[in-house]
A and B are shown apart, each in its own frame.
Chain A
């Protein structure tokens, strides 16, 4: 797959992932650009036997985002030391509340949840992207969802209160 084709297919997914991870459009754009430039500079690093182009790009994007956090010394909460979410009873809109609640998750839970819930990446693929085993990824997503269940309760919508699978 050529870099141009990879860009056409995956740039929106990579950008969305980075936007949700950083919550900044300008940073998401910069890192998306860096991500594809890295692919152009060294296309031979993509090993088809180790995963798909999509997971490879997510992996680069994730590493660049972590590097950005380190370089700019932004607080990336460690697992088990979450930041507090904003008061949901305030005037925040629902989408802002969701963004705040996800941002309040520990970094490792956050990235796993975003990849799983928003980008449709499988547990196995996430494990490859973040360099952890599937069980660990599953546990991170479970804990993230548990926390969000409680944090976002004030935003419960009428009509979907009772789950009926």
Chain B
């Protein structure tokens, strides 16, 4: 494996963890989130800060995951009060609050972010394999949730919260669990990104990044693990395949979103599995 391939594997792995995390919140549990990049950033900043203090990789990854998950649960509390488009706007606001905060914090590097982050202790190829292992573990974990009673209950909450309550489901707890797991995974992706890039900038975690992650979920098919898996790999590789695709990445992502919404709201998974609702 060349360093270039290792780099692509790392980016795909990080994007898979991000997209599958958002898929748990939006795809499984039906809670719209337009601020996923903020939790990616929370994990990254936490891990980077601790790494610069000398904390080893397992501790920084764990701390980044825990920090993003904890704040994710707090943000998830808003989902108990607002739904649908109001929740979308609220989570979008969380992303702007995060960016506005880190950009003004000198101890977090302000606009310049954090640089000079120590290495993971692994070379590029073993580190890429470590990220790939995490991505596979997250995929297996997603499949486990989907096929467990948690996935069944998430489906019910996504379908009709009030009906879910009449069969004894504590809707609030399940929503917060989805937010906790999904945002913790974003934090894990952020921690892994830190040792891959060795520098973090606020703009890496902006609204466009949130939309890019959401695009992977929507194009794959919200709620479908394999659909999101395939779409994430395809959309991550797209800029590598063609220079034009790299230059017009946002335009292509936007056009794909519109086409999917128009012709196959169920995404790739919906195309393959046309069954009556």
A and B co-occur in one complex? no
